[in-house]
Chains A and B, each alone.
Chain A
């Protein structure tokens, strides 16, 4: 058995314990070492994931590493790394706006790293028990993180709502998986896929599991929790939820569809198309009327999930490549926006869209980075969001789903309107009389700069898409075998 395959997960778990343990030992002053431990661990895991051989299996094929698994793991680690950087200022009390009731950083990092480990195991799992346990590991700590600001009623409300709806989703998934086991008599995904035949019980199981995944991926109508949780949770956690948690949902769908349901996938496409269309439309029209930027980003993220699952219209290498490439683009772009939001709320405590007024006058570079990221989310060429959307739309179009492409195009136009609302506040509305340039921490500024550059580079350097395509090809080759 080649345990090197599992090295990234093991490193993440070890780091989680190290960060939690170190929190007990270090003095308050040296708390910043904890972030360094977490970042170091994630970076090591990233390297290990890059170096791990492709196509290996552990535990008799219950844990495998293939193209998509590696891609997802790298994305999770990237999102985790950036989230730690974005959280540092808040946790170490360096935000200009004093926030009370922040818990210990060590615990925060431990929980964050546990979710990372869960996500990483999830994409490598090949049987439903591991899958479920990984999903829970990836979800449960997030309930705690959402409620991290003890003294903040909104944060508490977010945690509570999240845990209730999350429990509901979890129960449904468990119930669905149970039915599948009952139908097939096996816990291995591939075996279930071979054994099940169309029957009402199977449809019920599929509907239950899909609802659970829809919860993670914020598919309408399983999205309701997102707005409240995104708004109430500490902003770095919101950022993490909007990218990593969503990526977990997609990873789960990948597992479900490609390892298990591939023979039946044809029949699923109309359903997924309807879900995609409703998700993007509802997310977009509701985003228009939001005034809190985090709530606004929640609906924006919902609509982005709608675009994301368009890739399932053609479940081949191209579709997979389009989805995992868009996921990368989405993570980078969304984190860029959130990094700016975090910076702004750390400095001013403001979260309303109108309060971004005149940012381009006081902090032109920050406003520029945010504008680039928002335009990328809206899909303006040559930014990466455009390229990613282009691939997804062309997948749907090639699959003959022209109505869906039309709906998506209309939605893109709507989304441009509301993303421009923020840009308008930043660039056109005058700054307040006494507005002065806001300072920014070096790490945060570096992350924002790097992300903004990445948003552009992903759009104009074809290497990244080529990589996504290569990984997708490996994955589909394995899944179709």
Chain B
């Protein structure tokens, strides 16, 4: 490893700062002073953001744009050594996507921390909120910089935990508790697949480690991996290792080992990123405070699955079939969620389904990626970044609106454009961005995904993606018109007031980023493989239909919702049962409930509970009773008379004597 710039050597500070703040705020600051808790937490994340930008600057100083961008490990330490090649280490890996995510996560997180100072002000759980937020930020950053799959998994679970804690933040509300449980159980269930996938990869990867490592180690050492391990991404994504894993087959449907492992890993990714059919937790997760929805359930944590797929892209690509699964799930989820979003009435749920749909979009982009057509990789990560900004912005605006009208239902709002001009402007910018209107950020990233699908020959996927783009424009403008236009409908809408500066300044910052982020020549910074096929100008073949369909969606929303909802109601009535099905989210939740309540609870859980209650508990009680009775009996031996003690003493000697006699004779 050549001498690294100082900023890269100290890249570990980026996750370490929020962690230190988590400890400090949780244990020390928060009980002492509430104000200080918010301040310390925010400053720590802001400092991490500064470090992240410096790291990005230095990384691209070391490896200029348009050149090769190796994945370098700038800091690591061995953590749990087991065997040669089999030790978990922790460290910091930097490559374009890690740097991109570092910048996005810290920046969005810092802005949302600032916003939260205003939004959460006066909440009794103020200190707790910032403690959890710092824990989350640390975990997410640890996940992003993980140089091996073990650290990834540990941080993966940590973000799951912080998500659980924050969804259930208002723990006195039964819905919040139920939502937190649902999120945790669903994602944990998915993580089981991830874990099995890791174990498969680790076991079979380690089996050929002794053979392959000598060839790979020098290469990895040049990129800062001092002591190569079977769990390192440098090893797991190496072509030779992948070829070996692909050649191995498992006695299950004749799949190759690699495909099975990667599908299992993707199961974890799908759980965290709320892909169909594991998406059910995300809409409910909106029970958490709005800044949490913005940071965790829109901008950062839910894209961890996308990041995981991108991180293991060589492995997915080598398997092929696994990547097809990614693509299929991505396409279906993006379409499915966009359709549901059209019918929802809760502002945060609309945004949640929109998030599902957009993450499906990113998955789709990664799914159409191949060594010959690597554009999808760039496009997916680009959309991840832009989406993080504009979706966070949408949620924060939603938070400001909810703050003002005390309701989540969009039909209680209306006419807020005049009451809350800054929020309105920011929301409009974000809506234009997500709808893909030039020159907002979403236009560029979405077009790149469409181009990636089109140019790699997946015409059907392209068509579906185009349809989703239209739907997105429609439901977003529906939301926009109902919330900000027309007359005041709810009791509080008439008295709504603009949010305080500490809340609208982050909105303005995010709006600015959402407006201009599209002009970043992302292809020069983030790319996969050797081939650079990233266009540096707008491809009109894509831009024209995409803009046209977005305008179509906008026009339809204008027609139905700009004045009142009467037209919409007629349209809904005309669609009849189809509308109701969509409105009930295709009855997926009900289907889950039918399976769990109808089958798992009565036939599996209840017998186990009975066994536990009677056999296990009874056994434990019996053991306790026996022990206590023995104690009571033995206590009688202790008479308190020295004579007794003497008798026992002599008896003991005889006993020892006999035993020795028996043993030694």
Contacts and interface: CB of A to CB of B under 8 A. Distances in A.
Contact of A225 (B630, B645, B652): B645
Interface in A274-310: 274-275, 282, 285-289
Interface in B650-665: 651-657, 659-661, 663-665
Contact of A224 (B631, B632, B645): B645
A161 interface: yes
For chain B, give the interface size range: 20 to 34
Contacts of B660: 203, 206-207, 267-268, 271
Contacts of A287: 631
A285 B631 CA distance: 4
A7 to B, nearest CB: 38
A194 interface: no
A222 B652 contact: yes
Contacts of B624: 417
Contacts of B214: none
Give the secondary structure class of B's interface.
Answer: helix
B642 to A, nearest CB: 5
Contacts of B652: 211, 214, 220-222
A286 B638 contact: yes
Given A210-B656, A285-B630, A169 B649 contact: yes
B656 A168 contact: no
17 contacts: A165-B649, A204-B657, A207-B653, A207-B660, A211-B653, A214-B652, A222-B649, A222-B652, A224-B644, A227-B638, A267-B663, A267-B664, A270-B659, A271-B656, A271-B659, A274-B659, A289-B632
B604 interface: no
A286 B635 contact: yes
Q: Max chain B CB contacts within 10 Å: which of A210, A215, A264, A285?
A: A285
Contacts of A268: 660, 663
Contact of A198 (B628, B644, B653, B664): B664
B644 A172 contact: no
B656 A207 contact: yes
Interface of A: 160-161, 164-165, 168-169, 172, 198, 200, 203-204, 206-208, 210-211, 214-215, 220-222, 224-225, 227-228, 264, 267-268, 270-271, 274-275, 282, 285-289, 414, 417
A479 B468 CA distance: 82
A104 B663 CA distance: 51
A264 B653 CA distance: 19
A69 to B, nearest CB: 27
Contacts of B631: 285-289
Contacts of A227: 638
A203 B630 contact: no
B253 interface: no
Give the secondary structure class of A's interface.
Answer: helix
B634 interface: yes
Interface string B329-342: 00000000000000
A330 B264 CA distance: 47
Interface in B62-85: none
Nearest to B655: A221
B601 interface: no
Contacts of A275: 656
Nearest to A198: B664
A221 B651 CA distance: 8
A275 to B, nearest CB: 8
Nearest to A274: B659
Contacts of B630: 285
A1 to B, nearest CB: 39
Nearest to A264: B664
A414 B638 contact: no
B646 interface: yes
A224 B627 CA distance: 20
B628 A288 contact: yes
Contact of B665 (A198, A207, A282, A289): A198
B648 interface: yes
A221 B655 CA distance: 10
